[in-house]
A and B are shown apart, each in its own frame.
Chain A
Amino acid sequence: MKLKPNASTQYLLSVGACVTTTLLATPLLGYLDLANIVMLFLLTVLVIAVKLGRNPAIVASVLSVLLFDIFFVPPRFSLAVNNIQYLVTFAVMLVTALTTAHLAAGLKQRAQEAQEREQRTRALYELARQLAGTLALNQVIELASNFIQAQFQAKVAILPPEVSDYHGSIRIEPHLAKTAQDSGKLVRSDSMGALGLAAVYVPLKASMRIRGVLAVDFGPDNQEITPDTLALLEALASLVAVAVERLHYVDVAQSTEMSMLTERLRSSILSALSHDLRTPLTAMVGLADSLSLIKPPLPVQALETAQALHEQAERLAGLVGNLLDMARLNAGQVTLRREWQPLEEVIGASIKLLGHALAQHPVRVSLPPDLPLLEFDAVLIERVLCNLLENAAKYAPESSSIDLAAITQADTVKITVSDQGPGFPEQGAENLFEMFVRGQTTSGESSKPGTGLGLAICKAIVEAHAGCISAENKAEGGAVVAFTLPLGNPPTVEVEEETP
């Protein structure tokens, strides 16, 4: 921006120019007609209008008429006029001078405006180019600040959509910023500007949503705030909005990629771990077993040791399995393979899977005959049932039976597994489903093997099925664990036509 000479200098220059013209024209008085001297004055006014603008030119117009009257029109050195026709000369001279001044000054002003506009457009282009290359929000803020500084000597801040999150150098009026954010329209308050706060708030309208507010502080006098300025600010705001939105999506893309990488890493660690732990355990179980195949047969004690080894290795395998399952469930790695199926099928499979662990405890299953199909992940619900039956078998007195029942309740099915054992300890029942909490820690010398993960896994699985799980003691003794599964709307299976 070019520095303009201030107003009083302009008027002095203007006056000086008129005086100079007078001095130069005086010696020519004998040679030139008065009419041509008028031309000299008009030329001066034209030059002043072009160089110094409208107001100095008006002053020059009036002054020229006066100087012409005093120094050139007889009687000289007086305002008086001999010949009345000079009044016409004065009038024409004044009107011509004023008109010239007006036209010339207007022309100059328009040229200047056009130049300024062109310069600002170029600056905007340049800004757009630079914004396209930004990688961080503070680069955007810096570029916008430089732009506003260069154009208006004003200060700028980019406020986030949550205005209260803004902690920047310029002072803002939060309510105005919020109005701009909410309405999507430019807000201006000169009184705020006078108080030393940002006076103009432009919403950053991007394609998806408003991504914050551009606040501009023009300093105490708000003279720069013209319609042109506001238009420029809106153009600036839309460029900044696009840049901010682009950065937002860069962020989103980066964090998505990050979480995908983390996820992939976690699942590859889990599967590597599960392979690396299971392989030696499989070998241990099998090798312990194979001792019984050696010929000639080993002494009985050695075989018993081999059997114990086998059992311990299997326990360890169970523990590792539980830990990995829990890790997988906790990591949200488990996608349910929900399918509509009869409950009795998975119950049968669970009992079969437990095999001789239930040899001492017959399972009495009672299901309502009209139980509809349920939607669940068979592998996971089998896990729940196995854990519950195994627990029951662990604590139930020898050769007592275990009851497995289901009833429909409102829009759920409630499945209960109950035993005739000592039940859960009174205190801490609500913690039973936490990780590494075991029942029977105080009452009786419990040496039952277990990790305290079984019920936690059950809980995670049941809750993934939008059900809930609870434990209580029966009045007549024994523990009951109950869990629910939602009923939903099972698909129909058409009844088959009878054969001829």
Chain B
Amino acid sequence: MTAILAKVLVIEDEKPIRRFVRMALEEESCQVIEAEKMADGLVQAGASKPDLIVLDLGLPDGNGIDLIRDVRGWSDVPILILSARSQEHDKIDALDAGADDYLTKPFSVGELRAHVRALLRRRNRNGETASPLIEFGDISVDLSRRRVIRAGIDVHLTPIEYRLLSNLLGHPGKVLTQRSLLREIWGPSYIESSHYLRVYVGHLRQKLEQDPTQPKYLLTETGVGYRFQP
């Protein structure tokens, strides 16, 4: 649990949902600011400088994606989206616009707390000087030397595999959409060629995961993208 008091802005129009989200966040020692409407939320995001924004995508008074773009114009505060299932498109758009993570309704307090904790941890780490050494499971990756070691043995990665891995490792816990990964690694003309991405993620899992069919670190967000779970 984080010791410092983080400020969290919750933008959600349903009072009962706000109520339990507030309780869960306060349990995480967060100070909660509530906003009922989009316009209000935008003002609060500017005025109170929150450490995290929890945003319901289905607000009645506007498009949450616009709010994300606005906020991203001047801040890199983590944004957690609450959305209904069957809204894959909205999720992808929100993530592409700069949101960090999403929760699908209905979600439990436990899930919410886990996601919030992960996002805040990352926020805190951003303050420190980034270490070039990343470790997860029996893998350690030295970004400065481009070396990947698994259980003490060097793992050989192709350039694309390495670029994909470092991209995922660069955003721990964040959901990266297929579109953004394809654009980043293969270039804009490959945005529709999602099979490239899938094949290479498969290669990485073969090389780095204990059980490639049930990965622990390089996770699939079905229909949306991938996430590195440290």
Contact = CB atoms under 8 A, between A and B. Distances in A.
- The answer to whether A binds B is yes
Interface of A: 274-275, 278-287, 289-290, 292-293, 310, 313-314, 317, 321, 324-325, 328, 337, 339-342, 344-349, 351-353, 363, 365, 367, 373, 377-379, 382, 490-491, 493, 496, 498-499
A286 B158 contact: no
B215 interface: yes
Q: Most chain-B Cβ atoms within 10 A of its Cβ — which of A345, A367, A379?
A: A345
A482 to B, nearest CB: 19
Contacts of A290: 19-20, 23-24, 109
A279 B60 CA distance: 13
Contact of B106 (A314, A325, A353): A314
Given A279-B14, A342-B199, A345-B220, A352 B214 contact: yes
A-B CB proximity, top 6 nearest:
A283-B16, A289-B109, A286-B20, A379-B223, A340-B195, A282-B106
B49 interface: no
Contacts of B196: 493
Q: Most chain-B Cβ atoms within 10 A of its Cβ — which of A314, A340, A490?
A: A340
Nearest to A333: B86
A344 B202 contact: yes
Contacts of A325: 86
Nearest to B209: A348
Given A346-B222, A499-B158, 17 more contacts: A283-B19, A286-B20, A287-B19, A289-B110, A290-B109, A314-B108, A325-B86, A341-B194, A345-B220, A348-B212, A348-B213, A348-B215, A349-B219, A349-B221, A352-B220, A365-B214, A382-B223
Nearest to B196: A493
B199 A373 contact: yes
Nearest to A292: B109
A378 B213 CA distance: 15
B145 interface: no
Given A275-B58, A287-B16, A289-B110, A382 B222 contact: yes
Contacts of A314: 106, 108
Interface in B175-227: 193-196, 198-199, 201-202, 212-215, 219-223
24 contacts: A274-B84, A278-B84, A281-B106, A287-B19, A290-B19, A290-B23, A293-B109, A313-B106, A314-B108, A324-B86, A340-B195, A341-B195, A349-B222, A352-B215, A353-B222, A365-B213, A367-B213, A373-B195, A379-B88, A379-B223, A490-B195, A493-B195, A493-B196, A499-B158
Q: Number of contact residues on B: which range applies? A: 35 or more
A156 to B, nearest CB: 57
Nearest to B17: A283
B115 to A, nearest CB: 13
Contact of B223 (A286, A292, A337): A337
Contacts of A279: 14, 17, 105
A339 B197 CA distance: 11
Interface string B1-25: 0000000000000101101110110
Contacts of B105: 278-279, 281-282
Nearest to A350: B222
A55 B84 CA distance: 95
A498 B106 contact: no
Contacts of A317: 106
Q: Most chain-B Cβ atoms within 10 A of its Cβ — which of A281, A290, A349, A377?
A: A290
Interface in B22-59: 23-24, 27, 58
Q: Most chain-A Cβ atoms within 10 A of its Cβ — which of B17, B106, B201?
A: B106
Contacts of B220: 345-346, 348-349, 352
A498 B158 contact: yes
Given A283-B17, A285-B108, A293 B27 contact: yes
A352 B211 CA distance: 12
A286 B194 contact: no
B222 A379 contact: yes
B63 to A, nearest CB: 15
A289 B25 CA distance: 13
A302 to B, nearest CB: 16
Q: Most chain-B Cβ atoms within 10 A of its Cβ — which of A275, A279, A314?
A: A279
Contacts of B223: 337, 377-379, 382
B24 A293 contact: yes
B73 interface: no
A287 B20 contact: yes
Given A279-B17, A286-B21, A339-B195, A352 B109 contact: no
Nearest to A494: B196
A345 B24 CA distance: 33
A84 to B, nearest CB: 113
Nearest to A337: B223
A382 B86 CA distance: 13
Contacts of A324: 86
Contacts of A365: 213-214
B160 interface: yes
A491 B158 contact: no
A487 to B, nearest CB: 15
Nearest to A366: B213
Q: Most chain-B Cβ atoms within 10 A of its Cβ — which of A314, A341, A348, A499?
A: A348
Contact of A345 (B23, B85, B107, B201): B201
B106 A278 contact: yes
B159 interface: yes
Given A324-B86, A498-B158, A342 B198 contact: yes
Contacts of B27: 293
Contacts of B219: 349, 352
B86 A274 contact: yes
B170 to A, nearest CB: 20
Given A283-B14, A324-B86, A348-B214, A339 B158 contact: no
Nearest to B13: A279
Nearest to B105: A282
Contacts of A284: 106
A341 B107 CA distance: 28
A453 B42 CA distance: 42
A339 B194 CA distance: 7
